[in-house]
């Protein structure tokens, strides 16, 4: 069973969100260990561009592994403030440390994201 940190919030599409989810705050987004495991070794990340608008539940990028390609959904709505440049040369960080150096992008929220799941709720959907 892949780990599900208690201090993060989650989407049904297997992204995690860290930080305060009230409108105006900046959160960090990545994919869960469960998602990384299902995808296999990630070899290319197409993250949303800095300054672009992302919408909760909408596709905002792609994750490519040797085995498959999968769409990256934004779990929150707002403006992208930063993308993880380290993934350009080391996309495998998503597999190695999905909740750490494998983070993907940061978003300044234009709307609150109160309907995200907590760890227990995500454990139910990822089983």
Partner 1 sequence: MSTLHSPLHDQHVALGASLVDFAGWEMPLRYGGDVAEHHAVRRAAGLFDLSHMGELMVRGADAAAALDYALVGHMSRMALGRAKYTMMCAPDGGVLDDLVVYRRDWDHFMVVANAANRVQVAAELQARFDAAALDATVEDETQSIALIAVQGPASAGIVARMCGGGAGDVDPMRYYSGVNLLLEGGIHAYAARTGYTGEDGFELFVAADTAGDVWRLALREGAAAGLEPCGLAARDSLRLEAGMPLYGHELSHDTTPFEAGLGRVVSFGVSGGPDRGDFVGREALARLSEEGVAKTLVGLVGDGRRAARTGYAVTDGDDNQVGIVTSGLPSPTLGQLIAMAYVPTALAEPGTVVGVDVRGRREEMRVVALPFYQRDA
State yes or no: residue 69 binds partner 1 (CB under 8 A).
Answer: yes
For partner 1, the closer CB: 101 or 108? 101
State yes or no: residue 97 binds partner 1 (CB under 8 A).
Answer: no
Structure tokens at 32: 């869960």
Other C-beta atoms within 10 Å of 24: how many?
Answer: 11
State yes or no: residue 62 binds partner 1 (CB under 8 A).
Answer: yes
Least Å distance between CB 86 and partner 1?
Answer: 16
Determine the interface stretch with partner 1 among 48-56, 61-69, 101-109, 111-119 (rule: CB under 8 A). 61-69
State yes or no: residue 92 binds partner 1 (CB under 8 A).
Answer: yes
How many Å apart are CA 77 and CA 75, to the nearest integer? 7
H runs (alpha helix) in 8-117: 33-39, 86-89, 93-96
Contact at 8 Å (CB) between 33 and 2? yes
For partner 1, the closer CB: 90 or 111? 90
State yes or no: residue 89 binds partner 1 (CB under 8 A).
Answer: no
Contact at 8 Å (CB) between 121 and 8? no
Q: Which residues of 71-80 are buried (b: 16+ CB within 10 A; e: fewer)?
A: ebbbbbbbbb
State yes or no: residue 43 binds partner 1 (CB under 8 A).
Answer: yes
Binding site for partner 1 (CB under 8 A): 37-38, 40-41, 43-44, 46, 62, 64-69, 92, 95
């Amino acid at each position: 069973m892949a780990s599900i940190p208690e201090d993060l919030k989650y989407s049904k599409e297997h992204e995690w969100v860290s930080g305060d989810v009230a409108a105006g705050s900046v959160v960090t987004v990545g994919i869960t260990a469960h998602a990384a495991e299902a995808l296999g070794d990630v070899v290319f990340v197409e993250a949303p561009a800095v300054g672009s608008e992302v919408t909760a539940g909408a596709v905002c990028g792609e994750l490519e592994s040797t085995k498959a390609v999968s769409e990256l959904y934004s779990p929150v709505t707002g403006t992208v403030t930063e993308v993880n440049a380290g993934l350009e040369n080391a996309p495998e960080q998503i597999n190695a440390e999905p909740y750490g150096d494998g983070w993907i992008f940061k978003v300044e929220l234009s709307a609150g994201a109160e309907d995200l799941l907590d760890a227990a709720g995500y454990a139910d959907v990822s089983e």
